[in-house]
Amino acid sequence: MKRPRIKRRGGIGRHAEELLRLASGLAESCCRIEDRFWEDRLASAIDLALAHGDDETFDNALAQSFSRSGFLYNELADAIESRTESPPLPGNEHDIVFIAAPILAWSRFRIPARTLPAAALSNLRVHLQAHILAQNARLALADFLFSPDQLPQGYCDTAQFAVRLGQAALKGDDVHIDTDGMPETDQYLSDTRYILATAVVPRGQAIFRWQEADGNRVEALAQWRGQGGACLTPLLPGCALEVVLPESYFAACRAADKMGRAYSVRASVAFLAASLDVPVVNLQAVIAPFWDEQIEEYRIGFTISGHNEVVHGVVWPLLDLEDEAVDVPAEIENVLRECGIGIIKTLEHRFPLEYCEDCGAPLYPSPDGEAVHAEMPEAEGGQISQHLH
């Protein structure tokens, strides 16, 4: 989950000011003893806001910290995220971590968000405990495959979800998700699905496999891809999949956001080559920056070489502290070249962050330097809408 690219705001409340004071102390700390002093007090202040459901305090403090210092912002964001995904359980005798296992998927058809059957939960439990979690970790899974729109909203809801799963883990249970009122998920060619879980261990013990003496992240990911991926495939029929390392919630979501950008480009190229029946080398890509008050994202318009009509588009959002000083176009160009795109054009002038007034889809850059609607030459039965991430 990307951290918000925050704009400046006005005054903030007393509780937000206290978070800033404590985070500033931590940012300026000179030794580990002082670190622990500030960390303990900052954690208590964050726990208080989480208990009161006070997301506004977090939003205000983060916005103010961003305007003061990127380093201060990262210290505060790290602390808030840490307490959100590892909130204290009653009795305070265990460490818990809220975990996300992201799955990148693309398909010509709808990518499902669905309740997970008991057999699938059992298989996932076996592979997570064998390849991702430490030996003594207890695990609870949510029985739903979440789309991004269906994830817990805000820090407070996320912490409550983590506690609910943590309490279930202590009992050896999984958690049933009531889908009544759950947001509908939009259709995209490429999207992410999430398995959510919480792991619990006695305080101070290892939670993840790579914390153990004979474990490491590279091997854990390889085993998860090879073994866990096989039990995920039946849950997403008709989809091409790439799994992301399951780890703490915010880190896993950010990794999925980052990996999902290039994955969406590769999915788009494969889809266009097959749907239009043209060699990849005959596709052209146009890259351009799109701005609001600051640069928000790059958009990529795809055309057939020799034609100016944009047939597809991909949004490449900027994450965390990325801005115009980061050479994002070069990164996008590298991905396109790896895909075999024949012609790549990068536009430097600023496009406004515009969307179609009728359907709300983003407008994409054309070879002529205009922002236009992407339209496939012809629609086919069962083909999804042409809006891509």
Q: Which tops the pLDDT comparison, 68 or 325?
A: 68
Are residues 213 and 177 part of one domain?
Answer: yes
Over residues 260-298, the pLDDT tens digits come to 999 999 999 999 999 999 999 999 999 999 999 889 999
Q: Which tops the pLDDT comparison, 300 or 377?
A: 300
Over residues 97-126, the pLDDT tens digits come to 999 999 999 999 999 999 999 999 999 999
- E-strand spans in 179-251? 190-202, 240-243, 247-248
Residue 384 has pLDDT above 70, yes or no: no
Which one, of 313, 300, 189, lies nearest residue 240 by Cα?
Answer: 189
Residue 385 has pLDDT above 50, yes or no: no
Are residues 316 and 298 part of one domain?
Answer: yes
* Mean pLDDT computed over 332-358: 93
Say if 89 falls within a structural domain: no
* Mean pLDDT computed over 349-378: 91
Which one, of 312, 103, 301, lies nearest residue 191 by Cα?
Answer: 103
Are residues 173 and 38 part of one domain?
Answer: no
**Number of compact structural domains in the chain:** 3
Going by pLDDT thresholds of 50, 70 and 90, the confidence category of residue 223 is very high
Residue 350 has pLDDT above 60, yes or no: yes
Q: How far apart are CA 49 and CA 42, in angstroms?
A: 11
How high is the pLDDT of residue 230?
86
Residue 11 has pLDDT above 50, yes or no: yes
Q: How far apart are CA 178 and CA 148, in angstroms?
A: 17
Are residues 128 and 67 part of one domain?
Answer: no
How high is the pLDDT of residue 320?
79
Say if 377 falls within a structural domain: no
Are residues 177 and 108 part of one domain?
Answer: yes
Residue 143 · residue 68 · CB < 8 Å: no
Q: pTM of the prediction? A: 0.90
Average pLDDT of the chain, as a whole number: 91
Instruction: Annotate 59-106 with three-state secondary structure.
Output: HHHHHHHHHHCHHHHHHHHHHHHHHHHCCCCCCCCEEEEEEEEEEEEE
Going by pLDDT thresholds of 50, 70 and 90, the confidence category of residue 1 is low
Structural domain boundaries, residue 68 = 14-84
Rg (CA), the chain: 22
Are residues 106 and 75 part of one domain?
Answer: no
Over residues 42-85, the pLDDT tens digits come to 999 999 999 999 999 999 999 999 888 888 999 999 999 999 99
Torsion of CA 82, 85, 87, 92, to 10 degrees: -90
Backbone φ, ψ for residue 346 (5° rounding)? -110, 125
Are residues 249 and 332 part of one domain?
Answer: no
Burial class (CB in 10 A: 0-12, 13-18, 19+), 388: buried
Say if 21 falls within a structural domain: yes
Over residues 118-158, the pLDDT tens digits come to 999 999 999 999 999 999 999 999 999 999 999 999 999 99
Are residues 107 and 73 part of one domain?
Answer: no
Which one, of 151, 34, 20, lies nearest residue 84 by Cα?
Answer: 151
Going by pLDDT thresholds of 50, 70 and 90, the confidence category of residue 389 is very low
Say if 163 falls within a structural domain: yes
How high is the pLDDT of residue 326?
84
How high is the pLDDT of residue 185?
87
Domain end, chosen from 201, 219, 253, is at 253
Residue 165 has pLDDT above 70, yes or no: yes
Q: Which tops the pLDDT comparison, 271 or 92?
A: 271
How high is the pLDDT of residue 186?
84
Going by pLDDT thresholds of 50, 70 and 90, the confidence category of residue 306 is confident
How high is the pLDDT of residue 58?
96
Are residues 18 and 61 part of one domain?
Answer: yes
Say if 273 falls within a structural domain: no
How high is the pLDDT of residue 382?
42
Say if 169 falls within a structural domain: yes
Are residues 149 and 191 part of one domain?
Answer: yes
Residue 5 has pLDDT above 80, yes or no: no
Say if 305 falls within a structural domain: yes
Which residues, 6 or more positions from 52, have their beta carbon under 8 angstroms from its beta carbon? none
Are residues 112 and 77 part of one domain?
Answer: no
Say if 259 falls within a structural domain: no
Are residues 151 and 55 part of one domain?
Answer: no
Q: Which residues of 349-367 are buried (b: 16+ CB within 10 A; e: fewer)?
A: eebebeeeeeeeebbbbbb
Domain end, chosen from 61, 84, 107, is at 84
Burial class (CB in 10 A: 0-12, 13-18, 19+), 230: exposed
